[in-house]
Structures are given as C-alpha cells and as structure tokens.
C-alpha cells in the first residue's frame, strides 16, 4: 500500500465503514445528509427567489378575481398582501404585466360606465333608467378623472334633482368628487379648475360653484385659498405671475453666477401684472392748418336787388373804393325831390358770402390693451461676501463691484424708473447652513443601494449556510466514518492484491467487471476470500 494515495482509499474505506455501522447510526447519518442537502438547496432557492412588488392595490373582489385568473393563465407567480387587498408579482415583470392588463381593460376599478345601458331590460321603469344613467355618468366621469397623471383613482357622486314644473321649486344639481392621489403628487389650481369644469360641463344646469373636490385625506381642494381670493387673480393668472417672477430670478442669478459664484447670490422678484382688458379710441386734430392745405369744398352765395353788375377792368384797381375828393363838390338838388346820386342809376342792395372748407390734419388711434402687462417690478438681490484664502472672515465687496452688480441687475430686469421699478442690492455674509440647500440622501438610505444589499445578503446567507452544513455536519460525519476500523481480512486482501502487481482495488465501474474481479480474486487467493466471508458473518452475528 506504499504507492496508494489517501484520496483513492477514502471512498471505499468510508463506504465499508458505513456498512459496518449499526442500523440506528445509518439512519441518523442518512437523516443528517438529507437535512444538509435540504438546507443547502433551500438556501440556494431562497437566494434565487425574485423580489416581489405591488402590481395593484385597493382592488374590488371582481377586479381581483379577473387579475388572478389572468396571472394564472400567463403562468406568472403572484402573492397577496395587505389582507388580500394587494397583489404582488416579481418586480422585473411589474411594468410588462400592467401594460398587458391595461390592454385587456383590467382593472376596471369597480366602476361601471355606459356599458350598463347595453344590458337594459325591456320592462325597466323610468326611475330605473334614470338611476342607471346616473351611475353610468358617474362611472365615466370617474374614469376620465383617473386618467390625470397625478390621480390614482376617483369617485364621483352626482345629486341630480327631479325636474319640477314650477320654477320656484326648481333645484340645481350638485356634484362631489373624491380624488385619490399618487404618493408625493398634488394637484395645482389649474388641474383642480379643470376637474370642476369637466364635471360641470357634463351635467346639465350644473354650476361650477356647486362642484366640490376632496382629496383622499378629506381636504377640500376646490376652494381657493384666502391669498388667491384677496389678490383677485384666478389660478391661471397667478401661475403666469409666478412664471414671470421665476423668469426674472433666473435671469438675474444667471448673469451674476459667473462673477460671484452660483451659490453666492439670491434674488427675489415681485411683479405687479395688469390683467385688465382696455380698448381706447382717440381722434386728434392738428390746429391752424397752413395755406397750402388742400381745399375740400368751397361755396359762394351772391344776392342783389336792381344793382347792375360791376363794370370796369377786373383786378385790384376796380375792387378798391374810390379815393375821396380833395375839394368839396356841390351837387344841386334833383328835381322832384329825388335823392342825390340816383340820377341815371337804379337803387340796389347786393350781398356776397363765400365759404371755403380745407382738409384737416386728423389722427384716429385705436388702442387695445393686452392683458399681462407688467406695471411694476420690485427686485431684491443679496450677494455673498468674498472668502479670501488665509482669512477666517469673509470680505465685503468694493463699491465699484457693487455698482457693477447693480448695473447688471438693472439691465437684466429691464429697470424702468417711470414705471416705478425698485431695486435693492445688498452684500452680506451667507449663513453656513442654508435653509434652501437640499440635503443629500445618505448612501444607506438610497433605495438602489438597499436593493443591492438585499440581493448580496441572500447569496451570502446561502453561502454561509452551505459552509456551516459542510463544516459542522458533513465533514465531522465523514471523519467519524473514516475512523471506524475495517475488517482485518479486508486489509490483508488489499495488501496482497497490491503486492501482486498494484491491481486497482477500487470498485469496478460495471456489474460484469465486478463479477470478473471477484472470480479472479477467488481463483487466485481463495483463502483470503474465505477470511473475508468469515469476518462478514461474524460481524453480522455480533450486530
């Protein structure tokens, strides 16, 4: 046995020792091996088990049954949680399964739409038809509201009164909407107003003021806050003002960031925006037109009674009155009491009127005011003091630097003194802990890091279990089996076979080879075979 390695003799020695063990020890060894294999396989399967995520929650019994049936048909593993209110599937298949469920219209959310009218019975009463119509309308509105990105689910309740023949007894319908928002989501004023107008436009004679919207926490979100009501602005106008202010803040900080640093400037802007609609018409005339102005119309009126027309050469001379005489002229009285100067000429009265209309310089201006005009801007800017190397305290900026910053801010905001704009730029040290600084999430709170640790912990736990099973159970068991002494005849037989030529003493690989090996041993050394059989018989009797 000098040329035999320990590894080659370990298996047959252990097998022979195991055969010599009492029955109770054999059973204990087999149970231990089975437990070890079970633990190792279980740990490996547990490590390879996928992580489950919520597919749907808060389901009705009908939707839950349809989802479970679909998952069984698609051979997708699933679990229940929250007392059966949520269905979990492997996290790597959640989005794929949701899309496939949505293609089949699952889940319906326990809401019925106008499909309830398809199964209307022939003998249904008017009251039942009205109830079914109201249910269908509520369901359709809830489905429509649920399509909003921030809304997880919705319920709509309509109170539609019965129509009355008397106007004084007529009642207006009302509506209530309950929205279940996604975690971390909220609805802004425009979205709330959209829900209110959506419901009011779907029900006849429903006033938007009669629609109430409540979130899942019971907060009335359809009522405008006091600040919004006092400002006189609707949500759309208030959003526009906030966007204008944010735009100016961004422009101011962007132009100062390269000079003082991105974290060393803070700006606030208050904008006074005019949302009034104005329409003005102005007509302006220029006084005292020049003589060269074009004549628009001219009118001349002449009248006379017996006066002969004017004679003489036309021109300035004939239009001038006669020059008074330098010597007195004595005219004898005409006979018959006639008036002087009437001899040889008839008495007449003439009237001459001339009207000339000139073109006037007139301007007509139509001015239509566009809503959203900025009436006034108030800007406040704070710049951090400069931190110099080697000095514990910050140093204030110089006057020249402050004037430069002031000029830059004026240009960025479009400063207009006539409009009443105000600007205040201050230089002050910033606090070490800024209130608006976003805290960084620690590594141990990062969801991705936690998921990676869970996966590593599973495989590590499986490896530890396998190591403990081998070192604490299997290895000691094999060591004890190998320490059990073998029959003396078996050892002698192995030595003789080895001395005869190093014949391989291991078990043959096939049954025929085993039989040939046994026949050769019995033919060549019958005495050794007899001793082995005697040992076996004596060992069996002792047991």
For residue 456, what is the DSSP state?
A: H
**What confidence score (pLDDT) does residue 79 get?**
84
Predicted confidence band at 394 (pLDDT cuts at 50, 70, 90)?
Answer: confident
* Direct distance between the N- and C-terminal alpha carbons of the chain, in angstroms, rounded to an integer: 30
On whether residue 181 sits in a domain, the answer given is yes
Tell whether 248 and 384 lie within a shared domain: yes
Evaluate whether 382 touches 428 at the Cβ level (below 8 Å): yes
Residue 524: which residues within 8 A CB-CB, separation 6 or more?
500
CATH number of the domain bearing residue 416: 3.30.300.20
Tell whether 406 and 270 lie within a shared domain: yes
pTM of the model: 0.43
On whether residue 305 sits in a domain, the answer given is no
How crowded is residue 199: how many other Cβ atoms within 10 Å of its Cβ? 25
Tell whether 383 and 413 lie within a shared domain: yes
The predicted-structure confidence for 252-273, as pLDDT tens digits, reads as follows 999 999 988 888 899 999 999 8
At 472, list the tokens.
């604490």
Q: Of 42-56, 244-258, 493-507, 510-524, which range is least confident?
A: 493-507
On whether residue 355 sits in a domain, the answer given is no
Predicted confidence band at 334 (pLDDT cuts at 50, 70, 90)?
Answer: low
Tell whether 212 and 69 lie within a shared domain: no
At 157, list the tokens.
């309740």
Predicted confidence band at 412 (pLDDT cuts at 50, 70, 90)?
Answer: very high
Question: Is residue 156 packed enough to be buried (19+ CB in 10 Å), middle (13-18) or exposed (0-12)?
Answer: buried
Q: What is the dihedral of CA 289, 292, 297, 299, to 10 degrees?
A: 100
DSSP string for 256-306: HHHHH-TTSEEEEEEEEEE---EEEEEEEEESS--TTSPEEEEEEEEE-SS
Domain that holds residue 37: 18-47
Evaluate whether 370 touches 273 at the Cβ level (below 8 Å): no
Residue corresponding to tokens 């085993």: 514
On whether residue 4 sits in a domain, the answer given is no
Evaluate whether 268 touches 249 at the Cβ level (below 8 Å): yes
Using DSSP, state whether 535 is helix, strand or coil: helix
**What confidence score (pLDDT) does residue 406 get?**
93
Predicted confidence band at 342 (pLDDT cuts at 50, 70, 90)?
Answer: very low
Tell whether 89 and 58 lie within a shared domain: yes
Tell whether 265 and 383 lie within a shared domain: yes
pLDDT, average across residues 10-20: 54
pLDDT, average across residues 377-390: 86
Tell whether 74 and 216 lie within a shared domain: no
**What confidence score (pLDDT) does residue 253 get?**
92
Evaluate whether 31 touches 39 at the Cβ level (below 8 Å): no
Tell whether 59 and 139 lie within a shared domain: no
Tell whether 374 and 271 lie within a shared domain: yes
How crowded is residue 111: how many other Cβ atoms within 10 Å of its Cβ? 21
pLDDT, average across residues 175-196: 87
145 closest CA partner among 206, 116, 187: 187
On whether residue 134 sits in a domain, the answer given is yes
On whether residue 328 sits in a domain, the answer given is no
Number of domains in the chain: 4
**What confidence score (pLDDT) does residue 256 get?**
92
Q: Of 168-177, 231-240, 343-352, which range is least confident?
A: 343-352
Q: What does each C-alpha distance from 139 to 110, 519, 531 come to in angstroms?
A: 9, 89, 93
Predicted confidence band at 292 (pLDDT cuts at 50, 70, 90)?
Answer: low
* φ, ψ of residue 155 in degrees (nearest 5): -130, 140
Tell whether 39 and 154 lie within a shared domain: no
* 530, containing H or E segment: helix 526-542
Tell whether the model's pLDDT for residue 182 goes beyond 60: yes
What are the helix and strand counts (H, E) for the chain? 15, 13
CATH number of the domain bearing residue 150: 3.30.300.30
Largest CA distance in the chain: 211
The predicted-structure confidence for 59-98, as pLDDT tens digits, reads as follows 777 778 888 888 888 888 888 876 666 888 888 888 888 8
Tell whether 95 and 126 lie within a shared domain: no
Tell whether the model's pLDDT for residue 494 goes beyond 70: no
Tell whether the model's pLDDT for residue 332 goes beyond 70: no
Per the prediction, the chain carries an average pLDDT of 75
pLDDT, average across residues 231-252: 84
**What confidence score (pLDDT) does residue 1 get?**
42
pLDDT, average across residues 120-126: 75
On whether residue 522 sits in a domain, the answer given is no
Evaluate whether 386 touches 394 at the Cβ level (below 8 Å): yes
Quote the CA–CA distance of 134 and 173 in Å, as a whole number.
12
On whether residue 209 sits in a domain, the answer given is yes
Tell whether 394 and 272 lie within a shared domain: yes
CATH number of the domain bearing residue 76: 3.30.70.1530
């Amino acid at each position: 046995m000098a040329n035999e390695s320990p590894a080659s003799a370990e298996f047959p020695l252990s097998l022979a020792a195991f055969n010599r063990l009492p029955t109770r020890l054999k059973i204990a060894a087999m149970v231990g091996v089975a437990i070890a294999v079970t633990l190792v396989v279980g740990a490996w399967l547990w490590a390879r088990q996928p992580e489950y995520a919520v597919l749907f929650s808060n389901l009705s019994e009908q939707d839950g049954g349809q989802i479970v049936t679909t998952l069984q048909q698609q051979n997708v593993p699933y679990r229940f949680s929250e007392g059966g209110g949520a269905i979990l599937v492997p996290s790597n298949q959640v989005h794929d399964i949701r899309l496939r469920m949505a293609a089949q219209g699952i889940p319906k959310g326990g809401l019925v739409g106008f499909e309830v009218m398809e199964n209307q019975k022939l003998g249904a009463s008017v009251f039942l038809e009205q109830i079914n119509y109201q249910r269908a309308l509520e369901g359709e509105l809830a489905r429509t509201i649920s399509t909003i990105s921030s809304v997880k689910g919705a319920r709509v309740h309509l109170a539609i009164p019965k129509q009355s023949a008397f106007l004084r007894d007529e009642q207006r319908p009302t509506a209530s909407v309950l929205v279940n928002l996604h975690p971390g989501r909220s609805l802004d004023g425009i979205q709330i107003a959209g829900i209110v107008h959506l419901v009011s436009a779907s029900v006849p004679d429903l006033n938007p003021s009669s629609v109430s919207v409540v979130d899942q926490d019971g907060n009335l979100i359809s009522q405008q806050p006091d600040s919004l009501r006092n400002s006189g602005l609707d949500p759309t106008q208030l959003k526009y003002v906030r966007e204008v202010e944010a735009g100016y803040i961004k422009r101011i900080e962007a132009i100062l960031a390269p000079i003082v640093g991105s974290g060393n400037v803070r700006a606030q802007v208050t904008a006074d925006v005019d949302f009034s609609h104005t329409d003005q018409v102005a007509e302006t005339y220029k006084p005292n037109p020049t003589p060269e102005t074009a004549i628009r119309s001219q009118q001349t009126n002449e009248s006379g009674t017996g006066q002969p027309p004017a004679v003489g050469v036309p021109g300035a001379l004939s239009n001038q009155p006669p020059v008074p005489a330098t010597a007195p002229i004595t005219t004898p009285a005409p006979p018959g009491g006639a008036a002087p100067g009437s001899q040889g000429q008839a008495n007449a009265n003439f009237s001459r009127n001339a009207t000339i209309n000139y073109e006037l310089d007139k301007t007509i201006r139509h001015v239509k005011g566009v809503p959203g005009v900025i009436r006034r801007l108030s800007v406040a800017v704070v710049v951090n003091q400069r931190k110099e190397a080697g000095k514990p305290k910050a140093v204030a900026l110089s006057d020249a630097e402050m004037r430069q910053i002031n000029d830059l801010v004026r240009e960025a905001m479009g400063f207009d003194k006539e409009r009443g704009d105000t600007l205040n730029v201050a230089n002050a040290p910033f606090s070490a802990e800024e209130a608006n600084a976003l805290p960084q999430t620690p590594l141990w709170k990062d969801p991705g890091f936690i998921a990676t640790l869970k996966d590593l912990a599973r495989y590590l736990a499986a490896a530890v279990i396998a190591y403990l099973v081998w070192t604490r159970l299997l290895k000691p068991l094999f060591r004890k089996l190998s320490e059990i002494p073998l029959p003396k005849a078996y050892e002698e037989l192995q030595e003789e076979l080895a001395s005869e030529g190093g014949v391989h003493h291991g078990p043959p690989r096939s049954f025929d080879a085993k039989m040939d090996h046994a026949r050769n041993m019995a033919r060549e050394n019958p005495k050794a075979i007899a001793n082995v059989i005697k040992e076996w018989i004596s060992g069996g009797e002792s047991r």
